[in-house]
Chains A and B, each alone.
Chain A
Amino acid sequence: MSYLEYTVKHTPSGFRKILFLNWPLAILLAAVCGVGFLMLYSVAGGSFSPWAEPQMKRFGVGLVGMIVVAMVPIWLWRNLSGLAFAMALVLLVGVEFFGEQSKGAQRWIDLGFIRLQPSELMKVTLVMFLAAYYDWLPTKKTSRPFWVLLPILIILVPTFLVLRQPDLGTSILLLTAGGGLMFLAGVHWAYFATVIAAAAGLVIAVFQSRGASWQLLNDYQYRRIDTFLNPAVDPLGAGYHITQSKIALGSGGWTGRGFMQGTQSRLNFLPEKHTDFIFTTLAEEFGFVGGISLLGLYALIIIFCVVTAVMNKDRFSSLLTLGIALNFFLFFAVNMSMVMGLAPVVGVPLPLVSYGGSAMLVLLLAFGLVQSAHIHRPRQS
């Protein structure tokens, strides 16, 4: 089993690299994508169009892209990460001026040959850039205030730009992933404790001030927060999605209602059934067994990433792999919490399953980086 081979003297080269891919990870990714095709076929009422077929094509392109990225030595990627981050930032600023509107949010940019969602790209490049930063930074400087402030700025600039689109979900992901990477890099825990305490204090202050003379927000803003946190108060508006989603999930039971037998999705009670709420369709049609299986696949992907990251002696590779795994985790954790009624509805798709080109391509390319890190890991001499 070459992928766990640590006695090989030299880094493989040429097409032999393919043999050194982290194959279990690749198979797990393909399996999750396969679940996605199945569900897209089902929600289209047993048809490859309009969703399953384009998604499969994108998967093909993404798979090729992943292997190509994997072939490129990881140190090249490390050296390019500053440039990649800068490009993503430029594109993100470009969205601000030239972006296309879709569902009230400015997220897309048309580069002529491809329509791109720069915020997706930013998720990966931010992790890359931070990993490179901490690889470059001498370890003893990690917790010095100046060297802590710098990555915070690196995280906040894209977060702010994404928030302006507005895309709350992605900005939360960026913030959390960036913070997570700083934590992994070994920044002193007191910083995190301070930030968390400050944030908690602010939230408490905002809510405590309500109705008091020093009220921090306007009344309508409070009402918005109310519906955001508790959609049940607006059952036909914001709460409708969550209610229908929970009905779909719950009616699945142990083994589900059968492939293409889910009434909630087939009869359109489910909103966004091919994108953000696709997990409910899976859970409705395949029940608890189906849902827990997908969760198991995701868990295995995370575990594989963490294990290979820890075993990799290259700091950049470790940080990058862990960062991408964290990103991936945040993706599905937020999405699943949302459809199960544990978190407010923010537009976060289910990674590799939901219909959507940018997200899938970017994720597969990101896993290409993980593969590259694995192939080009330093071998013991």
Chain B
Amino acid sequence: MRRNRAENDASHIKLTRRAALLGGAQLLFMGGLAARMRYLQVDQADQFRLLAEENRINIRLIPPTRGEIFDRNGVRLAENVPSYRIVIVREDAGDVDMVMERLAQIINIDLDTYERALEEIKRSAPFLPVTIVEDVSWDEVSRVSVNAPALPGISPEVGLTRVYPRGEDFAHVVGRVGRVSQKDLDALEDPDQVLRIPRFHIGKINVEARVEDKLRGTAGTKQVEVNATGRVMRELDRREGQSGADVQLTVDANLQGYVQARLDGESAACIVMDCENGDLAAIASGPSYDPNLFIGGISSKDYNPLLNSKYRPLVNKTVQGTYPPGSTFKMVVAMAALEEGLVGPDETVYCPGHMEVAGRRFHCWKRAGHGWVDLATSLKRSCDVYYYDLALKVGIEKITAMANRFGLGVRHDLELSSVAAGLTPTKAWKRQARSADWVIGDTVNASIGQGFTLASPLQLAVMSARIATGNEIRPRLIKSVDGVEQPSGNAGSLGMNENNLRKMRRAMYQVVNDRRGTAYRSRIIADEFRMAGKTGTSQVRNITAAERARGVTRNRDLPWERRDHALFVSFAPYETPRYAVAVLVEHGGGGSTAAAPIARDVMLQALAGGTPPLEAYPTADRDRIEEQQKKLRALRPPVSLDGEDQA
């Protein structure tokens, strides 16, 4: 195929032109590639470098050890104990099904757990350990270890679990921890990253929750280099965290145990408070529950009875429960009158058993009336009519002001969950909350702690302590954090007239120690332990006219839910007050019969620092008391610190 030369030259020139065109286009494109490379590698280099580091470096958290909680004497209330779990690494196991079957023969795994584990193993990366069972016993751990050659990829791992050695005694004080829930995270503004660690525990209620930031500590971190599948290649850096601080409570574990046992069988609450510094020596609420059940997640079999019981074991009645204070409120009214100078010590009122106010008849608890009564007698015999009269003179605003000074209607800052403020009504409050005007009958009701007035047992204990000392005593639950003593609860004098206070204490002394006092049967006869107090019986129902006509007013004829609450507030010793005790028995009937005996036992136990001498009790009671002491000692053998250390 020979072409002539001219044609050949012409076609070659055309080819050269086209080759130049195409070659130029190629170079242009390469220029574009170079520009793109420059844009990525020079202009945006910093941003991509950052992204590459983020890819490469993974920060792992090392969970901190949670601080422990102790009672005032150093008895452990919440501790961390090693717990074992069995984990499997799939890539080391080889035949997962076979290994799992063998494991199931060696230790006890329920079917649910077994299947869940199998599923998780298949889902996770082959090099990540997957937990098969948690909380296995040491016995099972050793069986797994012995059989290790037959169980490739399986190993026991040790972790720490929260344990509450005092069980139900401290459920309402120490509270409990649990797995971090979405709700916990949502509640926090800027959740600590450590909370995202699987199986990390957070305080759920009470001290565990309220002192969470001190107890938790700070997480350590380790920087690891990971590859694209998340496998750790090496550790780059490690920073140790800080363990949580130990917390010491003001509570005495032995006394708490005693009180909790003493309340057994009742739906009741009892507070023992130091009159001088506000230290809470016992905060018992019965019935209680075992917080250890909740740690790994509670089963509905265990949970439903707690939730549905009419005695409400999950509620801490000492601070969450508010009740009409009943006659224990009378000190407030009396003190308000005394401070206003509206009543002389010898001024008397005649009690015919009832009083007409604004066309309505208000009854005294004693239908026959108390006759002529003065201030001391009115308190001693708990005459209602005397206080109706007094309240009308003083007025609700002054009464409420006095109640607040005594610590009622005030939310005390305590490291417990849902501390209630109670209620001390004012005219303004009623207009706002009830859209109704205050009527004089409301004042009359308030004078005997009924009507709108509500107080928690804690507030009643605070009131007793303030009357006993004349100082503004605030409750204190945390004695020290990390060895640092917390400020005392004594905030100085209330600024009340000492003479008036002395009159109140004297009257309260007579309530217990005078033959005609309402709590005479619960007196203490040992001089060094003499107790002063006040009974209260608060209605939870309105007595209908029909009932009054039929005469069905006796408690034991009523269903439990409609019986009166029994209350008792006290302090002792009378001369040099050391403890204030408040007792509430829900639907217990009369304060003198249901609440006062508990208060006496608890007070003596607290004052004696252990089982009190029988000589402190009136002779007639001693046999019964001795029996009871024996029974309670068997229920809660006192622990000594030495024993604790050996355990």
Contacts and interface: CB of A to CB of B under 8 A. Distances in A.
B234 to A, nearest CB: 11
Contact of B52 (A247, A254, A319, A337): A247
A333 B226 CA distance: 33
Interface string B5-20: 0011011101110111
B51 A337 contact: no
Given A247-B51, A322-B19, A283 B41 contact: yes
A333 B31 CA distance: 11
A299 B411 CA distance: 82
B55 A264 contact: yes
B33 interface: yes
B12 A318 contact: yes
SS class, residues of chain A in contact with chain B: helix
Interface stretch (A87-95, A220-228, A288-296, A363-371): A288-296
Interface string A185-208: 110000000000000000000000
B228 interface: yes
Contacts of B36: 340, 342
A247 B54 CA distance: 11
- Between B29, B52, B55, B56, the greatest number of chain A beta carbons within 10 A of the residue's beta carbon is seen for B52
B33 A251 contact: no
A299 B27 contact: yes
Interface stretch (B42-50, B260-268, B374-382, B486-494): B42-50
A306 B19 contact: yes
B48 A269 contact: no
B34 interface: yes
B40 interface: yes
A128 interface: no
Contact of B37 (A185, A247, A249, A303): A249
A274 to B, nearest CB: 15
A303 B52 contact: no
A298 B30 contact: yes
B1 interface: yes
A215 interface: no
A344 interface: no
B210 to A, nearest CB: 42
A247 B12 contact: no
B11 A186 contact: yes
B55 A309 contact: no
Contact of B44 (A250, A291, A292, A306): A250
Given A247-B52, A306-B23, A253 B228 contact: no
A315 interface: yes
Contact of A184 (B22, B47, B225): B22
A246 interface: yes
Nearest to A254: B42
A340 B225 contact: no
B29 A287 contact: no
Given A291-B41, A295-B34, A313-B12, A269 B22 contact: no
B25 to A, nearest CB: 9
Contacts of B16: 310
Contacts of A185: 15
Interface string A264-301: 10011100000000000001000110011001001100
A288 B38 contact: yes
A287 B41 contact: yes
SS class, residues of chain B in contact with chain A: helix
B139 to A, nearest CB: 43
A246 B39 CA distance: 11
B22 A326 contact: yes
A264 B52 contact: yes
Contacts of A309: 19
Nearest to A266: B227
B26 interface: yes
Interface residues of A, number: 50
A138 B10 CA distance: 12
A259 interface: no
A249 B11 contact: no
B34 to A, nearest CB: 6
A302 B27 contact: yes
B3 A138 contact: yes
B229 interface: yes
B49 A250 contact: yes
Contacts of B56: 263-264, 267, 269
B233 interface: yes
A249 B40 contact: yes
A251 B45 contact: yes
Contact of B227 (A244, A268, A326): A268
Interface string A304-338: 00100110010100110010001001000100110
A183 interface: yes
A239 to B, nearest CB: 14
A169 interface: no
Contacts of A248: 48, 52
A334 to B, nearest CB: 10
Contact of A288 (B26, B42, B49): B42
A111 to B, nearest CB: 34
Contact of A318 (B19, B34, B52, B55): B19
A303 B227 CA distance: 41
A319 B229 CA distance: 49
B15 A251 contact: no
Contact of B15 (A263, A298, A302, A315): A315
A252 interface: yes
Contacts of B1: 135-136
B33 A247 contact: no
A299 B32 CA distance: 13
B228 A269 contact: yes
A250 B33 contact: no
A186 B33 contact: no
A139 interface: yes
A34 B391 CA distance: 104
A295 B33 contact: yes
A184 to B, nearest CB: 5
B33 A340 contact: yes
Interface in A122-164: 135-136, 138-140
Contacts of A183: 18, 22
Interface in B44-99: 44-45, 47-49, 51-53, 55-56
Interface string B181-208: 0000000000000000000000000000
A180 interface: yes
A268 B10 contact: no
Interface in A22-51: none
Contacts of A251: 45, 48-49, 51-52
A340 B45 contact: no
Nearest to A252: B41
A324 to B, nearest CB: 13
Contacts of A326: 22, 26
A268 B228 contact: yes
A302 B247 CA distance: 78
B19 to A, nearest CB: 5
21 contacts: A135-B1, A136-B1, A140-B7, A183-B18, A186-B14, A244-B55, A247-B51, A247-B55, A250-B41, A250-B45, A253-B42, A253-B45, A263-B53, A267-B233, A283-B37, A291-B41, A295-B33, A295-B37, A298-B30, A315-B8, A342-B36
The 4 closest A-B pairs by CB, nearest first: A250-B48, A251-B52, A253-B45, A267-B227
Interface of B: 1, 3, 7-8, 10-12, 14-16, 18-20, 22-23, 26-27, 29-30, 33-34, 36-38, 40-42, 44-45, 47-49, 51-53, 55-56, 225-229, 233
Interface of A: 135-136, 138-140, 180, 183-186, 244, 246-254, 263-264, 267-269, 283, 287-288, 291-292, 295, 298-299, 302-303, 306, 309-310, 313, 315, 318-319, 322, 326, 329, 333, 336-337, 340, 342
Given A295-B37, A329-B29, 17 more contacts: A140-B7, A184-B15, A250-B40, A250-B44, A250-B51, A254-B41, A254-B42, A264-B52, A264-B55, A267-B56, A267-B225, A288-B37, A295-B33, A306-B19, A310-B19, A326-B22, A342-B36
